[in-house]
């Protein structure tokens, strides 16, 4: 099955060991030495970091994004998730529906609006989110014991869901744990319902989440911001 077919059918695909251990360790070292402001869960808006920007444009990653998005792809946002014994957290079942935008323009189907670290965000309709894919680069091996991403396969096709609908799906669909080796990549659609649990062992789980789109223009008079 091709990358495109797998992501179209299930909403996600694990691509093991895309980066070497040397490449992964170099990225870890660069991020640890950076002055990026950290929150409990990690670091927002990491595309400003030279190593992350370079990785986002790496041909191996761009090829995956282009195959899924249909020929055109560029990175518009990157987030470092840093789950560790010192910063352990869980995420309930949800979809990723907020997109960073250049400016606020009231548009039907968009909102509510917010501002995070100076960047304007709005919750987007499915028509925009279906043109986005995230590539999650695993800086550590993701195991059943260090809070892996859990997904409900196929739910990306059901549009933007209410909290009640998501809860109902979580009771109807058997979750899949996305176990990914260090240097591996998980490709996923933002509308795929997903969650993660806390660490059970003192093994960190660091993931660089890079999002790609096919076009800057996501609606009439609405353009993505680079974050």
Torsional class of 217: left (φ above 0), alpha (ψ -120 to 50), beta (otherwise): beta
pTM, whole model, 2 decimals?
Answer: 0.94
Give the pLDDT of residue 113: 97
Give the pLDDT of residue 1: 59
Closest CA to 143 of 74, 216, 71, 200: 200
Give the pLDDT of residue 110: 97
pLDDT in tens, the chain (227 residues): 577 788 999 999 999 989 999 999 999 999 988 877 666 667 899 999 999 999 999 999 999 999 999 888 999 999 999 876 566 667 899 999 999 999 999 999 999 999 999 999 999 999 999 999 999 999 999 998 888 999 999 999 999 999 999 999 999 999 999 999 999 999 999 999 999 987 777 778 899 999 999 999 999 999 999 99
Query: Where are the domains positioned within the chain?
Result: 3-223
Pairing relation of β-strands 176-178 and 42-43? unpaired
Q: At what angle do helices 3-10 and 59-69 cross, to 10 degrees?
A: 60
Closest CA to 216 of 48, 76, 38: 76
CATH match for 3-223 among 2.30.30.90, 3.40.50.880, 2.60.120.620, 3.30.565.10: 2.60.120.620
């Amino acid at each position: 099955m091709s990358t495109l077919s797998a992501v179209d059918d299930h909403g996600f695909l694990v691509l093991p060991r895309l980066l070497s251990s040397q490449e992964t360790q170099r990225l870890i070292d660069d991020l640890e030495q950076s002055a990026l402001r950290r929150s409990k869960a990690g670091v927002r808006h990491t595309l400003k970091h030279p190593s992350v920007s370079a990785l986002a444009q790496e041909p191996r990653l761009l090829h995956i994004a282009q195959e899924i998005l249909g020929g055109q792809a560029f990175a518009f946002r990157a987030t470092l998730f840093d789950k560790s014994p010192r910063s352990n957290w869980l995420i309930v079942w949800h979809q990723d529906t907020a997109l960073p935008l250049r400016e606020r323009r009231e548009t039907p189907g968009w909102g509510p609006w917010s501002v995070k670290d100076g960047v304007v965000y709005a919750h987007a309709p499915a028509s925009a989110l279906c043109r986005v894919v995230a590539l999650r680069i695993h800086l550590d091996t993701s195991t059943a014991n260090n809070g892996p991403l859990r997904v409900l396969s196929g739910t990306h096709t059901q549009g933007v869901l209410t909290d009640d609908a998501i809860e109902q799906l979580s009771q109807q669909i058997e979750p899949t744990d996305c176990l990914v080796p260090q240097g591996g990549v998980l490709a996923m659609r933002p509308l795929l319902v997903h969650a993660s649990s806390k660490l059970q062992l003192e093994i960190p789980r660091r993931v660089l989440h890079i999002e790609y789109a096919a076009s800057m223009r996501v609606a009439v008079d609405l353009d993505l911001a680079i974050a």
